[in-house]
């Protein structure tokens, strides 16, 4: 059965496709026999099934990770470095298959999917290098005859919960740091896109990751009990989540019962500001990348586009002309620039936001429609969007660029910060003083100044306010380590 299902993916290496969960180095089914059916959002065709696991399998996975932790945590940083580098090299070696896999289950165009695989692999390379740089320190003692030494140790078993919009990168950004630190992990992938996570487990096995160090528990019907166990189980010492703000708050509350370490990368509502002294061509190019990558299904994409009145008409016209040239379709087809949304619910939200904005006076410059009975929504540009439109208070997570006019710098800063979340923000200006002022005043964790691209393995990724806690990438290995003080006494004067 597995071989016949694998044929639907048409990979060069079909053994990367797994139709079972992964616990303690074994490919296993759900004890209940329940399955999750995974479909291609571009065609609605079934790709295959994975087990719909529950509480029992989650507990087994946590126990396996706990059993593997003592030996894995005692490996040297150099040993973990070497395994993660092999992981990175295998992801590069299989980039065609891994990219195709992302397109099939997520829907993004193949070029974007391959770019995601490269981005995903870069976390393994980066954290391989961070593994050998988990420095402690010696602190001069105020007590005669003693020495203060600070060391870093892995926290233990880590629960990782990830979204479907980056089915590979959202795992490696967390898993790379956890493994580099010496932690073991239990991963709950999204039910929409489980095959990328299972392929990563197979890549990790080939790279030399020991049994039990990485465990994958797919679930759909039992997500509530699985998520609760991953947060409340006393054996788990760290929870890392990427997803909506509402779910982040729920998991934060569950994790607080045992005061676990948490990293929460929650929702965004990114402002994208174009001042009248900006290079308009560059601003349009950046808006195209920032807003429409992944068909707008990214947490850091521009959600509210503010343009100064004197350049508003020019920017709107150029942006609409570019968007009108997009080609919607199956991401595996040549020339397709934008794929489907992940499912019908995502389409419904974009429709609701467009209709609400139009009812409040917005004009549709391009797009504004969906293809019935599919998950395709045409990339859309709206002008004259009202400040009280729903899309200004909710993350659209779709291919909808909403333009609002502003007059002054002070006015737009207030508009940009008028939200409960603060993940990313972008602005364009050639005035050096303004660049510093605006960058410092935007209430976000990450700023793109004259850039619509900020994501890299080397940067501290995360937000402020209700966009979450902690940082990923960069020196995020610290989030998976405990700081321990050792005071050596009796050393004499």
Triad 122, 125, 130: Cα angle to 5°? 120
One of 105, 202, 265, 472 is an active-site residue; which one?
265
Q: Where are the beta strands (DSSP E) in 311-360?
A: none
| Rounded Cα distance, 481 and 131, in Å | 11
Q: Is 411 a catalytic residue?
A: no
Burial of 437 (0-12, 13-18, 19+ CB in 10 A): middle
Q: Quick one: three-class SS letters along 260-307?
A: CEEEEECCCCEEEEECCCCCHHHHHHHHHHHHHHHHHCCCCCEEEEEE
**Tokens at residue 40, please?**
């291609």
Eight-class DSSP state of 210: P
Looking at the DSSP assignment, which residues form a beta bridge with residue 447? Answer: 425
| Rounded Cα distance, 153 and 151, in Å | 7
| Rounded Cα distance, 262 and 254, in Å | 11
Judge whether 50 and 75 are in contact, CB under 8 Å.
no
Q: Nearest Cα to 444, choosing from 413, 474, 410?
A: 413
Number of helices (H) and strands (E) in the chain: give both, helices first: 14, 22
Helix, strand, coil content of the chain in percent (nearest 5):
40, 20, 35
| Rounded Cα distance, 68 and 80, in Å | 14
**Tokens at residue 330, please?**
């199956």
Burial of 381 (0-12, 13-18, 19+ CB in 10 A): buried
Q: Nearest Cα to 89, choosing from 116, 128, 134, 133?
A: 128
| Rounded Cα distance, 17 and 197, in Å | 10
Judge whether 311 and 280 are in contact, CB under 8 Å.
yes
Judge whether 441 and 331 are in contact, CB under 8 Å.
no
Q: Nearest Cα to 267, choosing from 248, 280, 252, 254?
A: 248
The catalytic residue positions are 265
């Amino acid at each position: 059965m597995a071989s016949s299902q694998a044929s639907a993916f048409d990979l060069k290496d079909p053994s990367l496709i797994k139709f079972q969960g992964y616990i303690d180095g074994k490919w296993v089914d759900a004890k209940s026999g329940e399955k999750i059916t995974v479909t291609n959002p571009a065609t609605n065709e079934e790709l295959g099934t994975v087990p719909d696991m529950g509480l029992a399998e989650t507990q087994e996975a946590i126990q396996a990770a706990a059993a593997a932790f003592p030996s894995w945590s005692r490996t040297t940083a150099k040993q973990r470095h070497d395994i993660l580098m092999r992981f990175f090299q295998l992801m590069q070696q299989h980039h065609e298959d891994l990219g195709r896999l992302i397109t099939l289950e997520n829907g993004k165009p193949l070029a974007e999917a391959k770019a995601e695989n490269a981005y995903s692999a870069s976390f393994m390379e980066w954290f391989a290098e961070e593994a050998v740089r988990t420095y402690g320190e010696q602190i001069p003692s105020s007590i005669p005859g003693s020495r203060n030494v600070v060391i870093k140790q892995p926290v233990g078993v880590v629960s990782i919960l990830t979204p479907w919009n980056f089915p590979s990168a959202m795992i490696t950004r967390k898993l790379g740091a956890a493994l580099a630190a010496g932690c073991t992990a239990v991963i709950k992938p999204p039910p929409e896109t489980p095959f990328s996570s299972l392929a990563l487990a197979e890549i990790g096995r080939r790279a030399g990751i020991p049994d039990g160090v990485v465990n994958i528990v797919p679930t759909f019907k039992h997500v509530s009990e699985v998520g609760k166990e991953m947060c409340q189980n006393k054996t788990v010492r760290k929870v890392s989540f990427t997803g909506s703000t509402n779910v982040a708050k729920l998991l934060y509350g569950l994790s607080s019962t045992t005061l676990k370490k948490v990293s929460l990368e929650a929702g965004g509502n990114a402002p994208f500001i174009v001042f009248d002294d900006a290079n308009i061509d560059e601003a349009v190019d950046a808006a195209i990348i920032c807003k429409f990558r992944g068909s707008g299904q990214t947490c850091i994409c521009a959600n509210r586009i503010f343009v100064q009145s004197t350049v508003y008409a020019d920017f709107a016209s150029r942006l609409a002309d570019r968007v009108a040239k997009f080609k919607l379709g199956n991401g595996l087809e040549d020339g397709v620039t934008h794929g489907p949304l992940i499912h019908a619910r995502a389409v419904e939200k974009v429709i609701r936001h467009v209709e609400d904005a139009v009812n409040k006076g917005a004009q549709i410059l391009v797009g504004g429609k969906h293809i019935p009975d599919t998950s395709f929504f045409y990339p859309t540009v709206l002008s004259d969007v009202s400040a009280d439109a729903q899309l200004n208070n909710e993350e659209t997570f779709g291919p909808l660029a909403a333009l609002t006019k502003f007059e002054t710098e002070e006015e737009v800063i207030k508009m940009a910060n008028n939200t409960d979340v603060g993940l990313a923000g972008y602005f364009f200006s050639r005035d050096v003083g303004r660049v510093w002022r605006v960058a410092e005043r935007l209430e976000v964790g990450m700023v793109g100044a004259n850039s619509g691209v900020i994501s890299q393995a080397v940067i501290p990724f995360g937000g402020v306010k209700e966009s979450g806690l902690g940082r990923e990438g960069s020196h995020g290995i610290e989030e998976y380590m405990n700081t321990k003080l050792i005071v050596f006494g009796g050393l004499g004067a």
